[in-house]
DNA sequence: TTTGCAAACGTCATATTTACGTTTATTTGT
DNA sequence: ACAAATAAACGTAAATATGACGTTTGCAAA
């Protein structure tokens, strides 16, 4: 018995990180030097997302978690499966054909795409064995495969989700300023927000907790630090009558 | 060369339909009588989503569209890929083992799940060759495989999306009353909405067009009919400063 | 001490939401 | 022809949120 469909299953991970200093939403990418084909290795010079085949006994979520850990050493980061990419023309390398029992099969590669949210400073890019590098999401280098498209769709999903859920705090350090939050929204959404109105709106939220601390080492008036309380957020009454169409 | 992973790729379709008469959000299901194993056919008596293997030269979207057309005859319905399900324990039937070149492989089934939105009256369930049947989303029958979970996750995604985008009109007839829209929101979200406030809010939208028509054949005061203008909606200025966390 | 500058606070008109009460138009029963 | 029943449709007032600005404050560096 031959399966009707023979294919590779992989996960690809869009790792988003925010740098509060440069105020830039970044994506973590790795360099692709060599691409093996059926007959020879082809030299390529572009960047790709981190990803890998799904192991035999792994769930899709476990696979994505493993790939992130392998790249960054991190576990327990915010993770979101957002789309599967598996069109027949996804990969057309020679290696994507296989022969089984004298029959030729086109080896389609289906990838389940995830994105992760983390703080840039959590990743030690200097000593990274994959030479991983952060790129601003609006200044991406040349990307291999369809990874440009995957990043764009991850970004779109992130835009939508950050308007409805408090996932923005996954990208910020535990202690942040009001302006950090504003800058991050502006980076993600590509918009400008009035600081005075945004500040009022955010400070009025019960789950934004002012700390007895201020910024240190800044050359201007140091800003008040806040933290986000997930507990208070969850306990709060959330109007579900928010029909914003 | 043996692929590192051998698996089935399929799509499963959660078909949502709304019945304005019973005010019920429904899911279209088909009966599963027989399940083939490697050695014999096993009698089962439950319902499943409609789904099928992805063909060799098909995109994932095309595959889902084909499956919907096969079941309902419909094309051009609102379609949304929302999640891939592919955990190794998804199916443990005997038929999910195959032997290739004297090696045993576990044939995992990865399914890309879609949901469709349509009007119940578009489907002729009386003459449906699959004996497809509508079930209220809150009174589902016993379901095969992990299809209960797939429906629940589709429903969750629909809840989120209908708050942010005007997809609710995909579930309503072209001409609807304000109360139809309210009832549908209540069905999807499982909440109660104040009719007077909802009515005012909706009527004030430029893209809700009053028609020169009223309901016919009702035994009370017949309601004003409206239509939704996708064009006006798209042309409208949509504030993107809608941070509702 | 002064100055530069971002942080932080304040104001006001308008729009939206919430929580209700009231009127109107139509069908059906007498 | 009229009354009753009922869902549709309209109304109101207080509270809250938003948008568009102007002003003050506090710290570090010059």
pLDDT higher than 50, residue A47: yes
Mean pLDDT of B63-67: 98
CA of B14 to C1' of D22 (A): 55
* DSSP type of residue B223: P
Q: What ipTM, to 2 d.p.?
A: 0.90
Nearest to B41 by CA among B52, B49, B53, B33: B33
Residue B112: strand pairing partners = B11, B84
Residues A72-122: tens digit of each pLDDT: 999 999 999 999 999 887 764 444 455 555 666 667 889 999 999 999 889
At residue B239, the pLDDT reads 54
Q: How far is the CA of B240 from the C1' of D20 (A)?
A: 17
Question: CA angle, A28 as apex, A24 and A29 as ends, to 5°?
Answer: 130
Residues in chain B: 245
Spatial contact of A84 and B60, defined as CB atoms under 8 Å apart:
yes
What is the structure's pLDDT at B104? 60
Q: Which domains does chain B have, with CATH numbers?
A: 7-165 (3.90.79.10), 174-245 (1.10.10.10)
B241 touches chain A (CB under 8 A): yes
User: B4 in contact with A at a CB cutoff of 8 Å?
Assistant: yes
Residue of A nearest to B204 (CA): A245
Band of pLDDT at residue B238, cut at 50, 70 and 90: low
Chain centroid offset of residue B87 CA = 22
Q: B68 near B15, Cβ under 8 Å?
A: yes
Q: What is the pLDDT, as a whole number, of residue A3?
A: 44
Look at residue A1 in the predicted model and tell me its pLDDT. Answer: 37
Find residues 17-56 of chain A whose CB sits inside 8 Å of chain B: 53-54, 56
**Could you read off the pLDDT of A130-180 as tens digits, one per residue?**
999 999 999 999 998 999 999 999 999 999 999 989 999 999 999 999 999
A206-235 residues touching B, CB cutoff 8 A: none
Q: List, for residues B183-221, the tens digit of each pLDDT value.
A: 999 999 999 999 999 999 999 999 999 999 999 988 889
Q: Which residues lie closer than 8 Å to A92 by C-beta, 6 or more apart?
A: none
A34-48, B64-78, B170-184, B228-242: segment of lowest average pLDDT: A34-48
Q: Which residues contact B116 (CB under 8 A, 6 or more apart)?
A: B13, B14, B15, B16, B64, B68, B77, B78, B79, B80
**B 161-220 residues, CB < 7 A, strand C:** 194, 196-197, 200-201, 204, 214, 218-220
Question: Which among A164, A189, A241 is the nearest to B191, CB-wise?
Answer: A241
Does residue B3 sit at the A interface (CB-CB below 8 Å)? yes
Are A225 and A177 spatial neighbours (Cβ–Cβ below 8 Å)?
Answer: yes
**Dist. CA B118–CA B113, nearest whole Å:** 17
Question: In this predicted structure, which of A146-155, A183-192, B78-87, B119-128 has the lowest mean pLDDT?
Answer: B119-128
In 3D space, the residue among A136, A237, A236, A122 whose CA is nearest the CA of residue A174 turns out to be: A122
C-alpha A211/C-alpha A198 separation (Å) is: 19
A238 CA from C20 C1′ (Å)? 22
Residues sharing a CB contact under 8 Å with residue B220, sequence separation 6 or more, in sequence order = none
Using a CB-CB cut-off of 8 Å, the residues of chain A touching B87 are 59-60
Confidence of residue B108 (pLDDT cuts 50, 70, 90): confident
What pLDDT was estimated at residue A210?
96
Q: Which of residues 94 through 133 in chain B touch A, CB cutoff 8 A?
A: 98-101, 106-108, 110, 112
- Torsion angle in degrees (nearest 10) through CA of B197, B201, B202, B203: 100
Q: Which of A86, A106, A185 sits opposite B243 (nearest CB)?
A: A185
**Res. A2 pLDDT band, cuts 50 70 90:** very low
* A:165-224 Cβ neighbours of strand C under 7 Å: 177-179, 195-197, 199-200, 203, 214, 220-224
The residue-averaged pLDDT of A181-186 equals 97
- Answer for the pair A108, A148: CB distance below 8 angstroms, yes or no: no
């Amino acid at each position: 018995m031959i399966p009707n469909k023979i294919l590779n299953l992989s996960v690809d991970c869009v790792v988003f990180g925010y740098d509060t200093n440069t105020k830039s939403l970044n994506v973590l990418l790795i360099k692709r030097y060599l691409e093996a084909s059926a007959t020879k290795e082809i030299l390529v010079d572009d960047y790709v997302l981190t990803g890998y085949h799904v192991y035999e006994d792994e769930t899709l979520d476990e696979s994505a978690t493993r790939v992130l850990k392998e790249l960054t050493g991190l576990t327990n980061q915010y993770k979101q499966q957002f789309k599967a990419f598996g069109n027949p023309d996804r990969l057309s390398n020679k290696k994507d054909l296989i022969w089984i029992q004298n029959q030729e099969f086109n080896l389609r590669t289906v990838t389940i795409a995830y994105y992760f949210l983390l703080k840039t400073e959590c990743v030690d890019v200097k000593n990274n064995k994959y030479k991983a590098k952060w790129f601003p999401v609006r200044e991406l280098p040349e990307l291999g495969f369809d990874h440009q498209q995957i990043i764009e769709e991850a970004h779109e999903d992130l835009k939508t989700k950050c308007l409805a859920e408090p996932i923005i705090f996954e990208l910020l350090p535990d202690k942040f300023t009001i302006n950090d939050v504003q800058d991050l929204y502006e980076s993600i959404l590509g918009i400008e927000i009035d600081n005075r109105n945004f500040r009022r709106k955010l400070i009025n939220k019960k789950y934004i907790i002012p700390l007895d601390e201020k910024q240190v080492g800044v050359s201007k008036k140091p800003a008040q630090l806040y933290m986000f309380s997930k507990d208070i957020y969850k306990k709060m009454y959330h109007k579900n009558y928010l029909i914003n169409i």
